[in-house]
Amino acid sequence: MGNDDYHAITLWPEWAFAITHMDKRIENRSWAPPQELYVDRKVAIHAGRSIGGGKTYKKFLAGIEALAYSAELAGWERHTWINLPEKKDVICELSKSGKNICLCNANIPKSAIVALVEIVKCERLHDYENWYEPNSVAWRLSSISVLPDPVVSRGDRGFWYLSDYEKDAIEDQLGKSAFELERLRQSEPVTITEFLEDNFREE
C-alpha cells in the first residue's frame, strides 16, 4: 500500500473533540469526497490550529458555544458556563448518559492528528439527526480509533496525504494494522475540578 493511500482531513479543533470524546458521528460538509479516497480504508482526523477558526477570544467563544449548542440538540445537558476572559478561556461542563465532559482550551487538542475513522456513507438527510446541519452532506463516521497521544501536524485543506512520519507515529500507537483497526480507544480529558485546581491554585 503506497503512501498516497493514507489520507487525512482537518476539522476545527472543537469538532474533532466532539468526535473523539463525545458522540458526534456525522461530519457536516458542503461536498462529498470521491469514494476512492475513503472506501475500505481509514481516514485520519486532524484538529486544526484554532478553536472557532480564528485567533481571537471572540472566535474561541463562538466555537465553544456552537459546539455546546449542537451538543444540547444531541441530548447533552449543559451544567456550567464560566467565561474567563483574563485567561482567554471558558469552562463549559456537559453530561450525557453518565458521561461528563469539560470543554475548555486545555482539553481540546490543536494542530494534531487525533484519531482514525471510517467514512461509511455520504448523503444529504431529509430528517433531523443528532449533529446533522440541514442542507449539508453528512459524512457518517464509524470505527473510531482515538490516538492516546495526538500527533503534531500542520494539516491542510481538503483531503491531504499523511507523511511517512505521521503514518509511522500513528502505527506506533495503534499498531501496524492501525488503518484497518475497528476498536474504540478513549483518552480521558481533565475534569472541571482538575482544570480549576491547575489554573487557580494559590501560590
Q: What is the pLDDT of residues 139-182, one digit of tens each?
A: 999 999 999 999 999 999 989 999 999 999 999 999 877 776 44
Give me the mean pLDDT over the 6-32 stretch. 96
Sequence-distant (≥ 6) Cβ neighbours of residue 183 within 8 angstroms: 143, 145
Smallest Cα–Cα separation from 101: which of 4, 32, 192?
A: 192
Smallest Cα–Cα separation from 4: which of 160, 153, 137?
A: 160
Q: Please report the pLDDT score of residue 4 as a whole number.
A: 47
The count of other CB atoms within 10 Å of the CB of residue 118 is: 21
Q: Please report the pLDDT score of residue 193 as a whole number.
A: 62
| Residue bearing cell 480504508 | 41
Q: Which of 13-27, 36-50, 169-183 shows the lowest per-residue confidence on average (mean pLDDT)?
A: 169-183
Q: Which is more confident, 1 or 122?
A: 122
pLDDT at 16 over 50: yes
106 is in which domain, residue-wise? 3-199
Structural domain total, the chain: 1
Residue 131 · residue 25 · CB < 8 Å? yes
Residue 71 · residue 35 · CB < 8 Å? no
Residue 43 · residue 78 · CB < 8 Å? no
pLDDT tens digits for range 54-100? 999 999 999 999 999 999 999 999 999 999 999 999 999 999 999 99
pLDDT at 188 over 80: no
Q: Please report the pLDDT score of residue 177 as a whole number.
A: 72
Q: At 192, is the pLDDT very low, low, confident or very high (cuts 50, 70, 90)?
A: low
Cell of 180: 484497518
Q: At 194, is the pLDDT very low, low, confident or very high (cuts 50, 70, 90)?
A: low
pLDDT at 1 over 50: no
Q: What is the mean pLDDT of the chain?
A: 88
